Structure 1
Amino acid sequence: MKLNKKIKRLFIALLVVPMLAMAQVDFNKRPDDDLGNVEDEFQEHFFEALKQKGIENYDRAIEALFKCLNLDSKKPVIYFELGKNYSKLKNFGAAEENLKKAIDMQPDNEWFLDELYDVYYQQEDIDNAIKTIKQLVKYHPDYKEDLAALYVREKKYKQALELLDDLDEEYGLSESRDAMRNDIYSITGNAEDRIENLEQRIASNPNNEDNHLKLIYRYSQTGDKKKAYKAAQNLLKIKPDSKFVHLALYKFYLQDDRVGDAINSVKIALTSPGINADAKAKVLKDFVSFVSKNPEYESDLIDITSLVDENKDAQTHSDLAEYYLKAGDKVKALSNYKAALNQNPNDFKLIKDVLLLQLDLQDYKTVVTDSENALELYPAQPILYLVNGVAQNKLNKYKKARDSLEMGLDFLIDNPNMEADFYSELSIAYKGLNNITKSETFAKKAQAIKAEQ
């Protein structure tokens, strides 16, 4: 927070400080003695210092500034520039000393104080940082927010919250202050204060939907489902067209066995363009879980999924596939696994799930093609050689089955069950090749492993 805000202020400072220096030195004034043009010499050294600082040559910048001091030691901008260069060199003691000299000369200069604050902040000298920033708060509200952040670091949460309240009252709400406020509530575990703050905001501005939604979430988080439900119903009364409230309502309706209302809320949530894909995926996943326990609502699930065919992400398709698999509908399960795989073509788990289902559905030619494509991505995965070998055996292509299975065995490590499957399939392949001796050998190896399990 400190650095981001400092960048904004620093941009202004970069414009102001050179003008400040120019304002303090009248470079158009002609010398009134025979000692040469002192002001021209000062200007030359000062701008040399700025140039050297600009190219990060801070030691040379400091040398040039000392030459300026030899000509005129009463200009605060010299000490300010010295402080900045020493700070860049991490010589914080010298930086502090020079910045304090500049501030003694101009106590109300915001940029001098801001640089001193930064020196303390870099050293994590929080006490002095707080003392300095208290002098800065009159210049810009960002400083108050910085001060609140420092109070949080010092575990002075009450003072931090009071500052945030002052800023909210004066400038309105902001995401950054809300985030800090929530951090404080999370640290202190004071859920009551968090909820009270939201209730006060709703009382003063009932039409702010975001505060209602936060209150619903906070009640749910504390386990007070009745108050969360009541808060959701209250939002629906105030804003009957709210879409986001249905992200909470469908859960309450399901808990109350108001399935019709729940289905309506699910449909509203899933078809609302303002609700993001992740939230929709969570709603659909919850409803899939509900239907898996209440299969009489499967027709509603089909209806609902048809509403979001274009918006389902890979995880949603995968969840649907698992539901249909449990329900015994392997064709629909495979269709959804394939849809998920189309979105994430390199997902090994999805590749494996699709291949195993294709085997189960006896689509052996597709298994051969898809497993060979998968092996280009994952040439060291034994399961891919195994499913390829199984499919080749089913297609009576025993030589190809044998070659695939023997290659896959080379990659197999510490997996007795899969090893037994390899041996069983090799037994089938060698039998198809009329090599009965090897077929029986591999059959015995498979049986020996299974007997040990």
Structure 2
Amino acid sequence: MKLNRKIIRLFLVLFIVPMLAVAQVNFNKPPDDDLGNVEDEFQECFFEALKQKGIENYDRAIDALQKCLNLNSKFPVIYFELGKNYNKLKNFGAAEDNLKKAISMQPDNEWFLDELYDVYYQQDDINNAIKTIKQLVKFHPDYKEDLAALYVREEKYKQALQLLDELDSEIGISESRDAMRNDVYSITGNADDRIENLEQRIANNPNNEDNHLKLIYRYSQTGDRKNAFKAAKNLLKVKPDSKFVHLALYKFHLQDGKVNAAIRSVKIALTSPEINADAKAKVLKDFVNFVAKNPKHEAELINIMVLVDENKDAQTHSDLGQYYLKAGDKVKALSNFKEALKQDPSDFKLIKDVLLLQLDIKDYIAVINDSESALELYPAQPILYLVNGVANNNLEHYKKAIDNLEMGLDFLIDNPNMEADFYSQLSIAYKALNNIIKSETFAKKAQAIKAQQ
């Protein structure tokens, strides 16, 4: 908010105020003794000050302005410019003194007051900032929002909310003020006021879908499921074609055991172009979890999968992989993990899930290829060396198994279970190569660790 005023002020001050100040000196007046020379010198010093300020030579700008004061101290803009330059140099005392002098000469000058407000704001002098901005409120309603923000900092929440209400009434609702209002409600913990405000907005404008959705969310957040569901149904009455309401409705229907109604809402949410991918992923995850607990509805899940087959993101595939894994369908679980990995190839958890499942279904060649690729990304992850060693052992590539297992042990830190697995695999490899002594040594190490567990 302050940024926009700063831009406006920059143009006005740089072009209008200096011109106005200089215009008060009659440069066309015929010389009267040495008065013409004085006016010429004043003009030169003033524009020199503006030039030096423009290239951020604030000290030189101040020197030029002091010369202006020595020539003529009647122009408030000189004190204003001094205040601005001192403010830039963080010399707040001098900035305040000069700006107050300018304001005493022109008490209703918005730009003088705004600069003084900035001086107080930078020093975190909230009391003086509030006093100054109260003078500014009459110039522009945006200052009310700044004043509300200051009230929040001073924990004067009632005054802040009153100003926000005034602004909403005068110029309409804005995201920035809503964010400030929600901050106040969160700080005070006053959920009732927050809900009352939303209900009033809905009463004033029943067709505003966003307010209905916020009310549903707020009721849900406070655990008032009954009123949240009621608010969702009210939105559906007002706007029967609403897609976003189904982001709430499917949950209520699932909780009430109305599976068919829930599935209708899920399908609407998942196929709606207005709803973003993250929200759709959350809907799908919830339904996957529901089906995991109620497997008789798996056919409905499969039908829904068809609807979103081309739009599933990595998280959705990962959630489906976990669902199928719990359901005991390792092939479908692996398929979904692989699809997730295509979209997010550096996700280490997905890499590990894929490799372990490939081991489980005895796809050893895939394990070797994929673990070697993964080691290029994560060369210090011991699990990758372990699964590679297990796969090579099963393919009777014992020397390769030993190389990878011994290398992986170098990266292993404080993981006794994995350490025992490394030793067991090394024992298998050395035994296959008829190195019985080493095989027994590693077997004993593995048994010793297991005995301590």
2:124 aligned residue: 124
Separation in 1, partners of 2:35, 2:218: 76
Q: Shift of residue 12 of structure 1?
A: 4.4
1:230 aligned residue: 230
1:330 aligned residue: 330
2:293 aligned residue: 293
The farther-off stretch of 424-433 and 34-43 is: 34-43
**2:212 equivalent to 1:201:** no
Where do 1:29-428 residues align within 5 Å?
Answer: 29-34=29-34, 36-428=36-428
Q: Shift of residue 147 of structure 1?
A: 0.9
Q: Is contact 2:46–2:65 with CA below 8 Å preserved after alignment?
A: yes
SS of equivalent residue, structure 1 residue 410: helix
Q: Shift of residue 85 of structure 1?
A: 0.8
Separation in 2, partners of 1:110, 1:313: 53
Q: Is contact 1:250–1:266 with CA below 8 Å preserved after alignment?
A: yes
Q: Shift of residue 234 of structure 1?
A: 0.4
Residue-by-residue CA offset, 1:119-151 (whole Å, 9 max, x unaligned): 111111111111111111111111111111111
Q: Shift of residue 11 of structure 1?
A: 4.7
Q: Shift of residue 9 of structure 1?
A: 4.2
1:444 aligned residue: 444
Q: Which amino acid aligns with 2:23?
A: A
When the two chains are superposed, the root-mean-square deviation of aligned CA atoms in Å is 1.5
Q: CA, structure 1 residues 281+28, in 2 after alignment: closer, same or farther (shift >3 Å)? A: farther
Separation in 2, partners of 1:366, 1:14: 70
Separation in 2, partners of 1:228, 1:424: 57
SS of equivalent residue, structure 2 residue 244: coil
Q: Which amino acid aligns with 2:322?
A: E
Separation in 2, partners of 1:440, 1:16: 93
Q: Which amino acid aligns with 2:438?
A: K
Q: CA, structure 1 residues 310+17, in 2 after alignment: closer, same or farther (shift >3 Å)? A: farther
Q: Which amino acid aligns with 1:441?
A: T
Q: Is contact 1:30–1:37 with CA below 8 Å preserved after alignment?
A: no
Separation in 2, partners of 1:73, 1:406: 86
Residue-by-residue CA offset, 1:176-212 (whole Å, 9 max, x unaligned): 1111111111111111111111111111110000010
Q: Which amino acid aligns with 2:385?
A: Y
Separation in 1, partners of 2:276, 2:438: 59
Q: Shift of residue 292 of structure 1?
A: 0.7
Q: Is contact 2:359–2:391 with CA below 8 Å preserved after alignment?
A: yes
Q: Shift of residue 111 of structure 1?
A: 0.5
SS of equivalent residue, structure 1 residue 73: coil
Structure 1: give runs of 5+ residues left out of the alignment.
none
The farther-off stretch of 53-62 and 201-210 is: 53-62
Q: Is contact 1:58–1:86 with CA below 8 Å preserved after alignment?
A: yes
Q: Is contact 2:271–2:307 with CA below 8 Å preserved after alignment?
A: yes
Q: Shift of residue 410 of structure 1?
A: 1.4
Once the two structures are aligned, what percentage of the paired residues are identical? 84
Q: CA, structure 1 residues 156+6, in 2 after alignment: closer, same or farther (shift >3 Å)? A: farther
Separation in 2, partners of 1:298, 1:5: 59
Q: Shift of residue 323 of structure 1?
A: 0.7
Separation in 1, partners of 2:320, 2:9: 52
Where do 1:16-27 residues align within 5 Å?
Answer: 16-27=16-27
The farther-off stretch of 441-450 and 279-288 is: 441-450
Q: CA, structure 1 residues 15+36, in 2 after alignment: closer, same or farther (shift >3 Å)? A: closer
> When the two structures are aligned, how many residues end up with a matched partner?
453
Q: Is contact 1:137–1:144 with CA below 8 Å preserved after alignment?
A: yes
Q: Which amino acid aligns with 2:49?
A: A
Q: Is contact 2:27–2:36 with CA below 8 Å preserved after alignment?
A: no
SS of equivalent residue, structure 1 residue 64: helix
Q: Is contact 1:31–1:38 with CA below 8 Å preserved after alignment?
A: no
Q: Is contact 2:42–2:71 with CA below 8 Å preserved after alignment?
A: yes
Q: CA, structure 1 residues 175+42, in 2 after alignment: closer, same or farther (shift >3 Å)? A: same
Residue-by-residue CA offset, 1:136-167 (whole Å, 9 max, x unaligned): 11111111111111111111111111111111
Q: Which amino acid aligns with 1:234?
A: N
Q: CA, structure 1 residues 73+93, in 2 after alignment: closer, same or farther (shift >3 Å)? A: same
Q: Shift of residue 69 of structure 1?
A: 0.4
The farther-off stretch of 41-50 and 435-444 is: 435-444
TM-score, with structure 1 as normaliser: 0.97
Separation in 1, partners of 2:178, 2:65: 44
Separation in 2, partners of 1:286, 1:103: 62
SS of equivalent residue, structure 2 residue 411: coil
Residue-by-residue CA offset, 1:306-347 (whole Å, 9 max, x unaligned): 212222221111111111100001111111111111111111
Q: Shift of residue 2 of structure 1?
A: 4.1
Separation in 1, partners of 2:53, 2:76: 18
The farther-off stretch of 430-439 and 269-278 is: 430-439
Q: Is contact 1:402–1:429 with CA below 8 Å preserved after alignment?
A: yes
Q: Shift of residue 298 of structure 1?
A: 0.9
TM-score, with structure 2 as normaliser: 0.97
Separation in 2, partners of 1:331, 1:5: 62
Separation in 1, partners of 2:11, 2:214: 36
Q: Shift of residue 36 of structure 1?
A: 5.0
Residue-by-residue CA offset, 1:5-34 (whole Å, 9 max, x unaligned): 544544544443333334333433342224
Q: Is contact 2:285–2:316 with CA below 8 Å preserved after alignment?
A: yes
